[in-house]
Amino acid sequence: MKSHYELLVVGAGPAGLAASADAARLGIDVALVDEQKAPGGQIYRNASESADRAQVYLGKDYLRGKRLVDEFLQSRATYINNASVWYLDDRLETGILVDGASHFISADRLLLASGAQERPMPLPGWQLPGVMTAGAGQILLKSAAMVPTGRLVLAGGGPLLLLIAWQYLQAGVEIEAIIDTTPGAGLLATLPRLARALPALDYLLKGLSFILAIKKAGVPVYKAIDTLRAEGRESIESVSFSTVRGKRRVEVSIETDTLLLHQGVIANIRLPLAAGCEVEWDAQQQGWKVIRDIWGQSSANQVFVAGDCAGIVGARAGELQGRLGALEIAYQLHRIDLRQRNRAAQGIQKSLKRHLSIRPLLDALYAPSKAYQLPHDETLVCRCEEVYAGQIRQAIRMGCIGPNQVKAFTRCGMGPCQGCLCGSTVAALVADETGATMEQVGYFRVRPPFKPITLGELADT
């Protein structure tokens, strides 16, 4: 590891892998830092090891990840794994933590591809042992070939929830119930988007095949859900909710050992924010987006963004955005001229357009329910400092008009996760109570260290 590279890429998911491999091929001195031990990011986690073995239940897309990982590993890019970024500033100085020692790396260009996280889904009892995210279930499946024992319930909505349901069924795991909490866009809202999504027919067919498989397996699917909650003392014992049966609303309770929650993914904007990139609220995606040009250049000097960390685009589009970023950086660093850049970009842009055409439909179909963005007063919002929605509302009514004030007043967001699991809820609550827009409300201020770091680790620098 050197202390300076021409290009530093953060994140070894599809966007970061493609950007690094292409940049290296174009003659750029590039390093890629990533938190995991093997390349692939969350979507292609462990792809190089388990793609062949697990194709039956992980699906064919996973093989694509293996190809991408191989392409990267065979390139001349420097790979720094097991490294968490704990510091980043607008002078392109990056602090990373590897094996308990801190290092600083500077770069001429920075490309952030730090991906997405699942949108927090606060509901009563979500902190009980036995409740996890669907993404966590998937990580256990991909990296350890582990599946839940006992009675399994999935709740929420979104492509990933369908995917994991399909994967579990392929692997022979029984699913007790699926609780669909998506409000469901009306047919009228969906139709025009459906037409626009036709270029990405493969996505639609895949989604459909998952739904059919779930039907065929006879898994009960509950819809029109209200007051969803996890119940139990030392761990989850049951999940309860109300649903509509005929014309009546009825209470249902299902005994459960494992409950997996998911309501879509949101961009992981913390590193872009720390680097000084401007962001905007995307009402359609109900999430933040980094403002960028078609090459992924952000408003911050020499800082590029690619993939889901700049707004949710999915794995394939992220990969293509990474390639476009590499082209522009190679042009700026005089490895290729304008004509070469434009010629190489043509096909990529066309393909990117196709992969993005599915997004408006997905965003509408799987819009998150308000109920888990504006939870009831007795729902825990901050898992670290244990702050409930009621306390946050009270703080707002007493005059805290922004997330940072709520934080100072209630300690919400002050724990080790630094607001990753409560930030979006706090902002939504502030907007709801004060009538302000999300843009006016903003987000928790991002301050290094992004990861807890000890004095000892710092002293090793």
Q: Sign of the C-alpha dihedral, residues 349, 351, 354, 356? A: negative
Question: Of 257, 299, 333, 409, which lies in the binding site for other proteins, with binding defined by CB under 8 A?
Answer: 257
Distance CA 124, CA 41 (A): 31
Smallest distance from the beta carbon of 454 to other proteins, in angstroms?
4
Size of the site for other proteins (CB under 8 A): 48
Map residues 392-431 to x or -, x wherever contact with other proteins holds by CB under 8 A.
-----------------------xxx--xx----------
Q: Which stretch binds other proteins (CB under 8 A): 3-11, 194-202, 397-405, 447-455?
A: 447-455
The CB density around residue 409, as the number of other CB atoms within 10 Å, is 17
Question: Of 63, 73, 98, 147, which lies in the binding site for other proteins, with binding defined by CB under 8 A?
Answer: 147
Smallest distance from the beta carbon of 420 to other proteins, in angstroms?
4
Cβ contact 422:413 at 8 Å:
yes
- Binding to other proteins by residue 35, rule CB under 8 A? yes
Smallest distance from the beta carbon of 246 to other proteins, in angstroms?
37
- Binding to other proteins by residue 461, rule CB under 8 A? no
Smallest distance from the beta carbon of 167 to other proteins, in angstroms?
11
Question: Of 145, 194, 204, 446, which lies in the binding site for other proteins, with binding defined by CB under 8 A?
Answer: 145
- Cα 436 to Cα 56, 104, 189, 222, 410, distances in angstroms: 48, 40, 26, 34, 20
Exposure string over 291-319, b if 16+ CB within 10 A, otherwise e:
bbeebbbbebebbbbbbbbbbbbbbbbbb
- Supply 408's token pair: 């100072």
- Binding to other proteins by residue 59, rule CB under 8 A? no
Distance CA 251, CA 236 (A): 18
Smallest distance from the beta carbon of 147 to other proteins, in angstroms?
5
> Given phi > 0 = left and psi -120 to 50 = alpha, else beta, which region is 30?
beta
- Binding to other proteins by residue 3, rule CB under 8 A? no
- Supply 259's token pair: 């409950």
- Binding to other proteins by residue 318, rule CB under 8 A? no
Crossing angle (nearest 10°) for helices 201-216 and 159-170: 50
Distance CA 43, CA 7 (A): 24
Q: In 3-state terms, what secondary structure has residue 369? A: coil
Question: Of 386, 397, 440, 448, which lies in the binding site for other proteins, with binding defined by CB under 8 A?
Answer: 386
Cβ contact 354:199 at 8 Å:
yes
Nearer Cβ to other proteins, position 340 or 394?
394
Cβ contact 235:130 at 8 Å:
yes
- Binding to other proteins by residue 237, rule CB under 8 A? no
Nearer Cβ to other proteins, position 194 or 417?
417
Q: Which stretch binds other proteins (CB under 8 A): 140-148, 190-198, 311-319, 359-367?
A: 140-148
Q: Which residues make Cβ contacts (< 8 Å) with residue 255, sequence separation at least 6?
A: 151, 237, 238
Question: Of 74, 235, 253, 284, which lies in the binding site for other proteins, with binding defined by CB under 8 A?
Answer: 235
CA atoms within 13 A on the CB side of 243: 20
- Binding to other proteins by residue 98, rule CB under 8 A? no
Nearest to 87 by CA among 110, 107, 103, 109: 103
- Binding to other proteins by residue 130, rule CB under 8 A? yes
- Binding to other proteins by residue 29, rule CB under 8 A? no
Nearer Cβ to other proteins, position 360 or 415?
415
Distance CA 57, CA 84 (A): 30
Amino acid at 403: P
Smallest distance from the beta carbon of 220 to other proteins, in angstroms?
23
Nearer Cβ to other proteins, position 398 or 455?
455
Which 155-194 residues touch other proteins, going by CB under 8 A? 171
- Binding to other proteins by residue 448, rule CB under 8 A? no
Nearer Cβ to other proteins, position 140 or 446?
140
Burial of 288 from C-beta contacts in 10 A (0-12 / 13-18 / 19+): buried
Nearer Cβ to other proteins, position 272 or 296?
272
- Binding to other proteins by residue 129, rule CB under 8 A? yes
The CB density around residue 446, as the number of other CB atoms within 10 Å, is 17
List residues binding other proteins (CB under 8 A). Answer: 35, 37, 42, 53, 57, 84, 100, 117-118, 127, 129-133, 135-136, 139-141, 143-150, 171, 234-235, 257-258, 383-386, 415-417, 420-421, 452, 454-457, 459
